[in-house]
Amino acid sequence: MASKELGFIGLGNMGAPMAGRLVDAGYSLTVFDTRAAALEPFTARGAKAAPSPAAVASAVDTVLVSLPTPAIVRQVALGKDGVASGSKVKTFVDLSTTGPRAAQEIAAELATRNIVAVDSPVSGGVAGAKKGTLAVMVSGPKDRHDTLVPALQVIGKVFYLGDKPGLGQMMKLANNLLSATAMAISCEAIVMGVKAGLDPKVMVDVINAGSGRNSATQEKFPRSILPRTFDYGFATGLMYKDVKLCLEEAQALGVPMWVASAVQQLWLVANGELGPESDFTRVVEVLEKWAGVEVKAQN
């Protein structure tokens, strides 16, 4: 029977709601984050705060991490006072987006410490993390996947992609490339329509009733772009990172990515102009600036 004691490292926009759902489901968490304020809501609910990733990994046998970049995942897994230094940990579950090669390298290094790495990136945004409706993309040993399923089902729908390290990450990059592309091309199409005199809200309604509908027009435009709140909860820098990782993997595999290369250019410009911490829905502002219009519903 799977243990109800887990470690959780990284309590940010995605990590906090996922960890919160685990607490709601009766899991006892040992948590770590570099920000003391991120720990407080969890210690108030009975979680134990640890002073380092190594301390988390010395308290429990399964450690989940949700972190922003491959470099930070490597540091937390393998660096000084990292998970690999823990005395109890047997399974390292990475919910982050690192790319297949980073997942494979981390898995190989952890294996020398008798720690099994399971890459388990998630998709569905902050809203999905709060609702427990994320797509959870798991690759790693089947027996370890089977043990983890009860906990992972708390945060979303679990898909097992195979026992090879990095397959979950490859699936996540393919998904996020499509998400980034949908956002980029939807912004271009709707900015063009606004420039021609169309009401962007009517455009979105028509698109969502027709064949052009996609995740950007169905979710991002109505919720964060048309009302100009730009509060979807995912950073421009992270989207650019994911697209860049995807193209690097495609190049390594010898797969042409002509459309994706153009998409990457828009996210590169957005990352530079808006800043990596900006909400990724602000990418529309890059195109608005060039077109001299604003995508806002007409009264």
Task: Give residues with Cβ within 8 angstroms of 1, minimum separation 6.
Answer: none
From CA 232, how far away is CA 209, in angstroms rounded?
23
Query: Has domain 170-291 been given CATH number 3.40.50.300?
Result: no
Known catalytic residue: 172?
A: yes
In angstroms, what CA-CA distances link 236 with 113, 226, 272, 274, 292?
A: 36, 18, 10, 8, 22
Asked if 44 contacts 68 with a C-beta cutoff of 8 angstroms, the reply is no
Q: Which residue has the tokens 């906090």?
A: 16
Residue from 48, 130, 172, 241 carrying the catalytic annotation:
172
- The pTM score is 0.93
The per-residue pLDDT string of the chain (299 residues; one tens digit each, 9 = 90 and over) reads 467 999 999 999 999 999 999 999 999 999 999 999 999 999 999 999 999 999 999 999 999 999 999 999 999 999 999 999 999 999 999 999 999 999 999 999 999 999 999 999 999 989 999 999 999 999 999 999 999 999 999 999 999 999 999 999 999 999 999 999 999 999 999 999 999 999 999 999 999 999 999 999 999 999 999 999 999 989 999 999 999 999 999 999 999 999 999 999 999 999 999 999 999 999 999 999 999 999 998 76
Report whether 97 contacts 172 (CB < 8 A). Answer: yes
Instruction: Determine the topology of domain 5-165 in CATH.
Output: Rossmann fold (3.40.50)
Helix or strand run (H / E) with residue 200: helix 200-209
**CA-to-CA dists, residue 249 to 110, 242, 254, angstroms:** 22, 11, 9
Domain ranges for the chain: 5-165, 170-291
Check residue 130 and report its DSSP letter: H
For 77, other C-beta atoms within 10 Å of its C-beta total: 27
259 token code pair:
């459309």
